[in-house]
């Protein structure tokens, strides 16, 4: 895999640091960005969480940029859309075509949304890149988040990595037989058949998972394991 | 240690899923310690503690985000306390030589390491019988023989080990009893010596002789070295026989 969130979450400098501080801290950052709703404050949050990630957790800039690419593309497109298609107030630029254009209000709203969303992403990024999923879940559980939610989240999280591996394997299998090469329609066909196959595989996987869980006396509830890591008998961990 | 040999699709995996009540037979019955399996919830709990299955693909089995949580899954389901479970997990991981990997994510481990963790997850339930579906598939030769060595040791410590495999070179080294199955039927069973003496049947089941036995067969047929049809199955046996002949 090119980029592995989970690996970074386990290996960064502050992976073992108190998860409550990290999870609550980043949730507070997210909430404050949502409530305060001010461009300067949002930019401040982006800078703070990026600095924490890069300087304190020592996540490499490359990984961080990769992590932000997808949410960036998503937010950017949304805001472009908002910028042009929701005109209200005085025009700064008018295409003269169905009223499409940039207005003072649409500029203000789209910038505001962009920074707000991005502030939330970087704050959440701080959490997901520094805190292993188990720690996040144990924090959520102490706040009475329903167990079923945590269980589904853990199983899905685990399934994502298996999916990604499967996708890589299937894509390579298609590429060796000249998939994705014959132009747009062909690419779409390759992608579609891969995706439907992925769906079948995931159905099968869920059945297998049920069997493997059952054979270890699964009761319908995933038990929580809380080892006492301060014990002398707790083994020294390999790095 | 009991080995189950059979070609792909012979019914090995299906049979294994009957061993701890994942599948329920439509005909006949499954006996465990000469008692028919009780398919009630309580009965299944007991059976699944007694008979542990290590699945062929460790990715199917390791579902938890960290190694220690995965190993703890069984004992916690059996109602062990956190302290007891911690001790069990520590010992199980030590037993399979994976101590120190407690907080690693399973998908960061190598194939052989995943297999060890999967075995630890079953050991943690303290089973009487451990069933392993192709424990050496997908492993490098060294990883494969290390896993079999581990199983051999566990066997000596009193756990019955049942494996399915295609690795006919390793079977004679470790197995006490061998079954050959095909299309859901047992073709033959017995000691490795007995089973591998019926060469025709072995080949009919899409299997082959161990390499060393095959060499002996060729030496006898083409070079006049006389083994009396009793071919050595392991390197050790071969060494002895060659020494006798020389």
In a mutational test of the A interface, the residue from B42, B105, B109 whose CB has the highest number of chain A CBs within 10 Å is: B105
Sheet of B185-190, strand order: B51-54, B129-133, B160-165, B2-5, B177-182, B185-190
- Same domain (yes/no): A180, A90: no
Whether A229 is covered by a domain: the verdict is: no
Selected residue of B107, B122, B129, B133 to mutate for chain A interface (largest A Cβ count, 10 A) = B107
* Closest Cβ–Cβ partner in B60, B93, B99 for A212: B60
Query: Which residues form the domain of A50?
Result: 4-132
Domain limit, last residue, from A132, A162, A194: A132
Min CA distance, B200 vs chain A (Å)?
36
Instruction: Decide which of A132, A166, A195 is a domain's last residue.
Output: A132
- Do A123 and A192 reside in the same domain of the chain? no
Per-residue pLDDT reduced to its tens digit, A174-212: 889 888 888 888 888 888 988 899 888 888 888 888 899
Q: Are residues A98 and A165 in the same domain?
A: no
Q: Are B172 and B234 in contact (CB under 8 A)?
A: yes
Across the interface, of A154, A158, A235, the residue whose CB is closest to B102 is A235
Question: Which of A107, A132, A157 is the endpoint of a domain?
Answer: A132
- Is B71's pLDDT higher than 60? yes
Cβ pair A132, B106 in contact under 8 A: no
User: pLDDT exceeding 70 applies to what percent of chain A?
Assistant: 98
The verdict on A164 and A82 lying in the same domain is no
Given a cut of 60, whether residue A1 has pLDDT beyond it is no
Q: In this structure, is residue A97 part of a structural domain? A: yes
Residue A152 inside a domain? The answer is: yes
In A11-74, which ranges are E strands?
A: none
Sign of the dihedral defined by the CA atoms of residues A178, A181, A186, A191, in that order: positive
Longest dimension (CA), chain B: 66
Alpha helix ranges (H) inside A131-236: 133-142, 147-176, 183-214
Inter-CA distances, A179 with A170, A175, A197, B240, Å = 11, 5, 15, 57
Q: Are residues A167 and A127 in the same domain?
A: no
pLDDT band at B96 (very low <50, low <70, confident <90, very high): very high
Question: Across the interface, which of A215, A233, A234 has its CB nearest the CB of B22?
Answer: A215
Q: What is the mean pLDDT of chain B?
A: 90
The answer to whether residue A236 is domain-embedded is no
CB atoms within 10 A of CB A77: 10
Helix (H/G/I), strand (E/B), else coil: B246:
coil
Do residues A128 and A154 both lie within one domain? Answer: no
Residues pairing with B160 in the sheet:
B129
Label the pairing between strands B129-133 and B51-54.
parallel
Check CB contact under 8 Å for B102 and A237: yes
Distance CA A172, CA A166 (A): 10
Q: How far apart are the first and last CA of chain B?
A: 33
Output the CA–CA distances (angstroms, integers) from residue A213 to A109, A222, B102, B121, in the order listed. Answer: 49, 10, 20, 11
Task: Give the tens place of pLDDT for each residue, B106-138.
Answer: 888 898 999 999 999 999 999 999 999 999 888
HSE on the CB side for A16, CA within 13 Å? 6
Are residue A59 and residue A156 in the same domain, yes or no?
no
Nearest 10 degrees: Cα torsion B80, B83, B87, B90? 100
Which residue, among B63, B98, B130, B162, would best test binding to A if mutated, counting the most A CBs under 10 Å from its CB? Answer: B63
pLDDT in tens, A75-93: 999 999 888 887 777 787 7
> How far off is chain B from A142, nearest CA to CA, in Å?
17
Under 8 Å CB-to-CB from A199, ≥6 apart: which residues? none
- The tokens for B179 are 């079954």
- Per the domain annotation, does A32 fall within a domain? yes
* A228 Ramachandran zone, left/alpha/beta (phi>0; psi -120 to 50): beta
User: Does this complex have an ipTM over 0.85?
Assistant: no
Residue A140 within a domain: no
Contact (CB<8Å) B65/A237: no
Whether B103 contacts A237, CB under 8 Å: yes
Residue B205, SS3?
coil
**How do residues A9-35 score in pLDDT, each as one tens digit?**
878 888 888 889 999 999 999 999 999
How far is residue A39's CA from residue A109's CA, in Å, rounded to a whole number?
Answer: 10
Of the listed ranges A137-141, A158-162, B130-134, B225-229, the least confidently predicted one is A158-162
Q: In terms of domains, do A204 and A181 share one? A: yes
Residues A20 and A86 in one domain: yes
A160 shares a domain with A89: no
Does a structural domain hold residue A222? Answer: no
Point out which residues pair with B162 in neighbouring strands.
B2, B131
Tell me: pLDDT of A234 over 90. no
pLDDT value for A239: 67
Q: How close B178 gets to chain A, by Cα (Å)?
A: 24
Per DSSP bridges, beta strands B31-32 and B35-36 are antiparallel
Number of domains in chain A: 2
* B66 contact residues in A (CB cutoff 8 A): 132, 134
Closest CB to A154 among B45, B65, B78: B65
Question: Residues 6 or more apart from B164 whose CB is under 8 A from it?
Answer: B3, B4, B5, B6, B12, B13, B16, B132, B133, B134
d(CA B202, CA B6): 9
The answer to whether residues A9 and A108 belong to one domain is yes
Chain A hits for B59, Cβ within 8 Å: 162
The alpha carbon of residue B179 is apart from the nearest alpha carbon of chain A, in Å, by 24
Phi, psi of B187 (to 5 degrees): -80, -45
Q: Identify whether residues A61 and A169 lie together within a single domain.
A: no
Any domain includes A195: yes
């Amino acid at each position: 895999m090119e980029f592995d969130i989970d690996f970074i979450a386990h290996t960064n400098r502050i992976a073992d640091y108190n998860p409550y501080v990290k999870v609550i801290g980043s949730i507070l950052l997210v909430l404050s960005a949502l409530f305060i709703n001010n461009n300067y404050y949002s930019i401040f949050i982006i800078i703070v969480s990026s600095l924490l990630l890069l300087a304190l957790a020592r996540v490499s800039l490359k990984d961080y940029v990769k992590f932000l690419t997808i949410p960036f593309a998503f937010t950017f497109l949304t805001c472009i859309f908002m910028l042009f298609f929701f005109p209200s107030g005085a025009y700064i630029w008018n295409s003269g075509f169905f009223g499409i254009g940039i207005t003072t209000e649409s500029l203000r709203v789209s910038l505001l949304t962009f920074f707000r969303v991005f502030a939330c992403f970087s704050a959440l990024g701080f959490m997901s890149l520094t805190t292993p999923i188990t720690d996040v879940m144990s924090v959520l559980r102490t706040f009475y988040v329903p167990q079923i939610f945590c269980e589904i989240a853990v199983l899905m999280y685990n399934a994502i990595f298996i999916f990604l591996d499967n996708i890589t394997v299937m894509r390579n299998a298609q590429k060796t037989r000249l998939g994705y090469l014959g132009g747009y329609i062909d690419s779409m066909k390759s992608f579609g058949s891969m995706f439907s196959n992925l769906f079948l595989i995931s159905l099968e996987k869920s059945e297998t998972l049920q069997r493997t869980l059952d054979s270890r006396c699964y009761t319908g509830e995933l038990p929580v394991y809380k080892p006492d890591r301060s014990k002398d008998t707790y083994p020294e961990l390999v790095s | 240690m009991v080995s189950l040999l059979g070609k792909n699709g012979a019914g090995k995996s299906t049979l294994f899923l009957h061993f701890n009540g994942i599948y329920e037979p439509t005909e006949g019955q499954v006996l465990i310690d000469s008692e028919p399996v009780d398919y009630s919830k309580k009965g299944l709990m007991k059976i699944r503690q007694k008979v542990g299955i290590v699945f062929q693909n460790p990715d199917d089995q390791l579902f938890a985000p960290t190694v220690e949580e995965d190993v703890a899954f069984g004992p916690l389901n059996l109602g062990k306390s956190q302290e007891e479970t911690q001790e069990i997990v520590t010992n199980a991981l030590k037993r399979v030589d994976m101590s120190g990997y407690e907080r690693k994510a399973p998908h960061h481990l190598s194939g052989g390491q995943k297999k060890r963790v999967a075995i630890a997850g079953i050991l943690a339930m303290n089973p009487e019988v451990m069933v392993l579906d192709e424990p050496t598939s997908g492993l490098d030769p060294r990883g494969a023989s290390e896993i079999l060595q581990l199983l051999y040791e566990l066997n000596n410590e009193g756990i019955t080990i049942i494996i399915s495999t295609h690795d006919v070179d390793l079977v004679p080294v470790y197995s006490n009893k061998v079954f050959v199955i095909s299309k859901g039927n047992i073709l033959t069973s017995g000691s490795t010596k007995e089973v591998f003496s019926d060469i025709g049947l072995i080949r009919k089941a899409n299997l082959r002789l161990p390499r060393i036995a095959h060499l002996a067969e060729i030496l006898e047929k083409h070079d006049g070295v006389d083994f009396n049809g009793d071919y050595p199955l392991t390197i050790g046996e071969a060494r002895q026989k060659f020494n006798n002949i020389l």
